[in-house]
Homo-oligomer: A and B are copies of this chain.
Amino acid sequence: MTVALKKPHKSARKPKGDGHLRRGEILAAAERIFIAEGYAGATIRKIADAVGVSSTALYMHFRDKDQILLEISDDAIGQLLAVNVDIAHRPIDAVARVRLMLEAYMKFALDNPNTYQLVFCGSRDVISKEKQAATAELGDRCFAEFSGPIHEIAASGRLRTGSGESAAQVLWAACHGLVALLITMPDRNWAPREELMKVTLDGLLHGLVTD
Residues of A within 8 A of B (CB): 38-41, 117, 120-126, 129, 160-163, 165-167, 169-170, 172-178, 180-181, 184, 187, 190-191, 195-196, 198-200, 202-208
Judging by beta carbons under 8 Å apart, are B124 and A121 in contact? Answer: no
Residues of B within 8 A of A208 (CB): 199, 203, 207
Residues of B within 8 A of A173 (CB): 174, 177-178, 180-181, 196, 200
Cα separation A170 to B202 with both chains bound (whole Å): 11
Judging by beta carbons under 8 Å apart, are B184 and A169 in contact? Answer: no
Per assembly, the copies of the chain total 2
Taking the closest CB of chain B, its distance from the CB of A21, in whole angstroms, is 30
Judging by beta carbons under 8 Å apart, are B160 and A206 in contact? Answer: yes
Q: Which of chain B's residues has its CB closest to A117's CB?
A: B123
Taking the closest CB of chain B, its distance from the CB of A200, in whole angstroms, is 5
Q: Which of chain B's residues has its CB closest to A39's CB?
A: B125
CB-based closest 9 A-B pairs: A177-B177, A207-B207, A203-B207, A174-B174, A166-B191, A40-B125, A162-B199, A206-B207, A173-B178
Cα separation A123 to B187 with both chains bound (whole Å): 13
Q: Which of chain B's residues has its CB closest to A129's CB?
A: B187
Cα separation A148 to B129 with both chains bound (whole Å): 40
Judging by beta carbons under 8 Å apart, are A170 and B200 in contact? Answer: yes
Residues of B within 8 A of A205 (CB): 207
Cα separation A77 to B169 with both chains bound (whole Å): 27
Q: Which of chain B's residues has its CB closest to A202's CB?
A: B161
Residues of B within 8 A of A161 (CB): 198-199, 202-203
Judging by beta carbons under 8 Å apart, are B174 and A200 in contact? Answer: yes
Taking the closest CB of chain B, its distance from the CB of A209, in whole angstroms, is 9
Judging by beta carbons under 8 Å apart, are A123 and B39 in contact? Answer: yes
